Structure 1
């Protein structure tokens, strides 16, 4: 399909610009043109704002945010800005940071190639540091470009005259709290955020977005390329590919609004075609395609840890629960404030679906020992407990009372939660009404652990102990240690498993 003038400037859906009297933007663009890395019209727009100056020669934009779908312009314009800072405005220290170290390394390699491929630029280079974790480019002028990964230590090591925060969707409050105060002594500091649309847990970026869209800061340049949400042709459309005519995720003009590169071929041969996006559309879940290609942010709403409506789709009436399942999972978890605890069991039906069930949830923790002994004797199962969670303080007492425990490691806990999320997403985790578990799901938040996720107790807005116990019980019932026997057909089942 042909697009009308694919090379024309595509203005961002949201744009906010500080006032300026002049800009180095055209000079930076000319420099990039000379080395064969010429900017697209949208990148020129960003550079003009980022390098805008006031009447005193200072940068008008303390913050610049560039939010756009992947592979369009974001990382490219950040590299162009770095070249401008090093070779046009002679900044002494530029820091490039990313959430993942391989991403920072990739940016280092790209910039090394760009600079090394130009005799005009490379003759000004004094040294290139390639040591793993200490990648840097140093100029004869004394200017330095360093590459860093953001870590648990927050923003340490990120302070510079100009700071690039790539993969800004993963920014955490401690990163910003450690970084921003260190910039006060810099003569003309700037912070640049680059990201695709935020996830449900991009709290820092969401705050930046809200300020940028509102134009609330006189010193922020904000650019967000996205497709405006519109109604599909059918009210029933759930955005599944190939299922509905008139779905807005299939509209090429909508895609072009969010993806300025669509229909273009750059001098270096890179580009983005309608055919490719259609193939990507067929391969990705609608929510993922909406975020990555339409620029639609994930909403941090109820049941978001599983995806909108996914938990609710697994709900079943009591009469639908099989009565002949084998109890193969049993776990205990304690709330972070130690005020409540939960015991949850799980079984697998003959279709392979796993069913968690809250066996008891109540105030305090004193009751858990006797209850765990009783259930273990009944179902001949080891009780799973997080060895590093709030319930770990119960382990000595449980062991002293003869309860057979499986103390879950951090890897076990991460595996368990990944297993839970996968089964909910695939529709093979089913559950009967359980107010405690539903409330835990509604208030739960994700916590990144390396490149995986766990349930974030601190960020959650509810008692998540029933969900934590359910995660461990379902893991034990399906892929973890289990010693189950038939229990769901016992006549006293409903009495035994009353909600408390």
Structure 2
């Protein structure tokens, strides 16, 4: 008895339908497929042909219907081949003056570009039309004798600025954690007569803000025949079982063509659930490779905390100075630690006065990492702390109360203490251990919870110790909380204030 090979779905589970019947007169997909198969010698998979037929649908004026198109599938299904085919077809057949390829990892965009160049060079009639190739790092492009170019650009706030593009290829769109790169790169198409921005990716998580927003808008407008935003998504249904073979086929259109069931089954054996769901089932998850599991963090919430003494404050500033966070930690009567944000605001102009206020009110310590993003404020903080008084900032006292506690009449003057990079490394290890052991509680504040949702580990030093990455500005509240919690291991101030909670 033989078992039939499980084939991936040709048709996406979620898709913007065509505005009319697709024929050689209403889509240029047919000629692009012919170019891929007859000129490039490729054997396209059914799902790749489906994307080309539907993605290159024409509007009534002859331009492409979709100015922006999202294509989502699981990993290793052949997205790169589609990118290369589209780039070469637009250059050689359509005569597009500039194709711009980009990815959050520049090396990935360059790899796709290199593959397209090799395709062109392997076909004598195409190779003869290649006038110049630049392989210079940071300036890779190929130019045809008729002037068309395929250029690689970094996915940054300056990527593509000054250029005018006819086709923008955005790979791994899930890695765009803010709108800076999208804003810079996609606006290169505004003045072109028949532009397209194509975003390719697998599913994302909470940090994938650009992809999440575009996907939501595309699904909401899918029934609108006049929409210029399209989505083709091969994904498993939400909540499906991990071993559901039918769901595998829906998310992996290359299954049975270039991918085997055995490969997926093997991934299921070794992958954490959140990794398998996003990478293999193309499903959205809270976080992938999160520094702190969202469920574990949620279980440690305690918005109505017990009283505590020995306040330790810590300050962190986002790398781009877009915001600053002031956290406070203390020991609970049960022996565990508790941390809340005492303040979190945009900019840094408010920091000096606010820190002086809490120290004059509560006493204790204010920790600032001497090589960290808030270090530039250390001189001002150290100068302001000794001369501050509780009366000086009485007008802002209501903000302290908004975090659920009030100053004690016993409060005394505190001090600013610079801590080393090594302190931060140890603080990150201590946070990891405390969360795992359930020895820390938090105030369940949205800003802190959001920071946890996007927090990722990076490595520090030759020993490869894990620390919270600061690349994402939104993680700053968690960095402040981490420093404050570890500050509880320092000598306790002789006369700090007492927290009185509502």
TM-score, structure 2 as length reference: 0.73
- Once the two structures are TM-superposed, the CA of residue 105 in structure 1 deviates from its matched residue by 1.6
Distance 1:439 1:30, change over 3 A: closer
Number of residue equivalences: 441
Pick aligned residue for 1:441 from 421, 443, 448? 448
Residues 276-425 of structure 1 aligned to structure 2 (within 5 Å): 276-299=263-286, 306-314=292-300, 331-332=314-315, 341-344=326-329, 356-358=337-339, 361=342, 364-370=354-360, 375=364, 383-385=367-369, 393=377, 395-398=379-382, 401=386, 403=415, 405-406=417-418, 419=429, 423=433
Mapped contact 2:57–2:66 kept (Cα < 8 A): yes
Q: Which residues of 2 match residues 64-75 of structure 1 at below 5 A?
A: 64-75=69-80
SS state at 1:185 partner: coil
Map 1:32-431 onto structure 2 (within 5 A): 32-34=36-38, 35-153=40-158, 156=161, 159-171=164-176, 172-214=178-220, 215=222, 216=224, 218-230=227-239, 248-264=241-257, 271-299=258-286, 306-314=292-300, 331-332=314-315, 341-344=326-329, 356-358=337-339, 361=342, 364-370=354-360, 375=364, 383-385=367-369, 393=377, 395-398=379-382, 401=386, 403=415, 405-406=417-418, 419=429, 423=433, 427-428=436-437, 430-431=439-440
Secondary structure (helix, strand or coil) at the match of 2:102 reads strand
User: Offset of 1:357 from its aligned partner?
Assistant: 2.9
Change (3 A) 1:447 1:427: closer
- What's the CA shift for 1:75? 2.2
- Could you tell me which runs of 5 or more consecutive residues in structure 2 were left unpaired when the two chains were aligned: 344-352, 387-413, 460-467
User: How far did residue 23 of structure 1 move?
Assistant: 2.4
Mapped to 2, the partners of 1:13 and 1:50 lie a distance apart of 15
What is the rounded CA distance, in whole Å, between the counterparts of 2:90 and 2:65 in structure 1? 15
CA deviations on 1:244-280 (whole Å, 9 max, x unpaired) are: xxxx11111111110111222xxxxxx2222222221
Runs of 5+ unmatched residues, structure 1: 232-247, 265-270, 321-326, 377-381
The alignment yields a C-alpha RMSD, in angstroms, of 4.5
Task: Answer whether contact 2:316 2:480 (CA < 8 A) is retained.
Answer: yes
State the SS of the aligned residue for 2:280.
helix
- What is the TM-score normalised by the length of structure 1? 0.73
- Helix, strand or coil for the counterpart of 2:266? helix
- C-alpha contact 1:315 1:430 (8 A) present in aligned 2: no
Q: In 2, Cα distance between the equivalents of 1:338 and 1:143? A: 44
The answer (yes or no) to whether the contact 2:313–2:327 under 8 Å persists in 1 is no
The C-alpha deviation readout for 1:341-384, integer Å capped at 9, x for no partner, is 4333589x9xxxx9543399479433344578x545xxxxx934
Alpha-carbon contact 1:68-1:258 (below 8 Å) kept: yes
Aligned equivalents of 1:421 and 1:156: distance in 2?
41
- CA distance change for structure 1 residues 99 and 181 in 2, over 3 Å: closer, same or farther? closer
Shift of 1:498: 5.8
